[in-house]
């Protein structure tokens, strides 16, 4: 019964995360930490199992679609610097308390969520992207920041990538931004999971049921994301998700 309940929780997280282009670790960490009583380092490590499985499923489903929306040039730039950012995040996590960092991050994403609520949603479908030096720097910085957050908070990096891509590269549209973010989060999550495994924090027996539920949810999320009528409410859902996350981070005592 416990495994079934965790799988259902994973299903909800996977659907929500895939629809928003966010890995889902932000919801999984509290489940492992508060519901399963895992110490925070273990909760972060085991949430990465869910994130890795969910983003892999979402990316595979996206690749199998005829209207695959992954922007490969943008993805390559994101991955190039997120690799470095992940190692920097592991270094920070071993040496510094992340409580103050969470407070700062909470304020920043709260401001982003309010901006998303107050502005008109962007178009759904991607268009051709024209590169410039400034745009390349922006994408590289997004990848680096997303990589840092992955091992620190048990995330895939979508919290940075999705709003950054939506507003920095509006040509991608909602569908392209979330698909590209999910693909980047796949790389970040697996890399962070491998690094966390070396710390001995994984408890796969409890991590696998919600991860399998999230895998199924990733299919549902991608299917919903490609429906035209979903684009506007989905962008509002992203804004709401960021606001909820900012509150959680601000109130987090660890």
A 10 A CB-CB count for 193 gives: 22
Nearest alpha carbon to residue 214 among 7, 59, 49, 10: 10
What is the predicted pLDDT for the residue at 77? 94
Domain count, the chain: 1
Which residues have C-beta within 8 Å of that of residue 250, sequence separation ≥ 6?
Answer: 102, 103, 106, 107, 110
Dihedral angle over CA of 254, 189, 34, 10, nearest 10: 160
pLDDT band at 224 (very low <50, low <70, confident <90, very high): very high
What is the predicted pLDDT for the residue at 156? 65
**What would the mean pLDDT of 31-44 be, rounded to a whole number?**
80
What is the predicted pLDDT for the residue at 213? 94
What is the predicted pLDDT for the residue at 111? 80
Distances in Å between the Cα of 201 and the Cα atoms of 8, 41, 44, 49, 207 are: 24, 7, 9, 11, 11
- Please say if the pLDDT value at position 249 is more than 80: no
Round the CA-based radius of gyration of the chain to a whole number and report it: 17
CB 221 within 8 A of CB 61: no
Which DSSP symbol is given to 121? P
- Please say if the pLDDT value at position 123 is more than 70: no
CB 149 within 8 A of CB 160: yes
Residue 150: give the domain boundaries: 2-251
Which DSSP symbol is given to 150? H
- Please say if the pLDDT value at position 212 is more than 90: yes
- Please say if the pLDDT value at position 57 is more than 70: yes
For all residues of the chain together, what is the average pLDDT?
A: 84
Using DSSP's 3-state secondary structure scheme, residue 70 falls into coil
pLDDT digits (tens, 9 = 90+) for 69-104: 999 999 999 999 988 988 888 788 777 666 766 777
Distances in Å between the Cα of 45 and the Cα atoms of 61, 105, 114, 199, 222 are: 25, 20, 30, 9, 25
CA distance 113 to 124: 18
């Amino acid at each position: 019964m416990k495994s079934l309940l965790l799988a259902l929780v994973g299903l909800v997280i996977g659907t929500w995360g895939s629809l928003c282009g966010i890995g889902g670790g932000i919801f999984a960490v509290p489940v492992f930490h508060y519901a399963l009583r895992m110490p925070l380092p273990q909760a972060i490590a085991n949430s990465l199992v869910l994130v890795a499985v969910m983003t892999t499923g979402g990316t595979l489903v996206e690749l199998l679609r005829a209207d695959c929306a992954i922007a490969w040039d943008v993805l390559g730039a994101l991955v190039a610097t997120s690799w470095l950012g992940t190692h920097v995040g592991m270094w920070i996590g071993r040496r510094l308390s992340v409580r103050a960092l969470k407070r700062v991050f909470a304020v920043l994403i709260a401001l982003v969520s309010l901006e998303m609520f107050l502005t008109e949603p962007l178009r759904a479908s991607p268009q051709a992207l024209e590169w410039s030096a400034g745009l390349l720097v922006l994408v590289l910085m997004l990848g680096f920041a997303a990589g840092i957050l992955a091992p620190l908070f048990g995330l895939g990096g979508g919290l940075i990538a999705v709003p950054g891509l939506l507003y920095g590269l509006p040509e991608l549209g909602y569908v392209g931004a979330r698909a590209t973010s999910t693909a980047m989060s796949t790389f970040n999550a697996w890399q962070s999971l491998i690094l966390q495994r070396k710390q001995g924090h994984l408890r796969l027996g409890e991590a696998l049921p919600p991860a399998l539920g999230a895998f199924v949810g990733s299919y549902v999320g991608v299917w919903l994301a490609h429906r035209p009528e979903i684009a506007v409410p989905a962008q509002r859902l992203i804004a709401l998700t960021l606001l909820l996350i900012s509150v959680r981070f601000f109130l987090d005592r660890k």
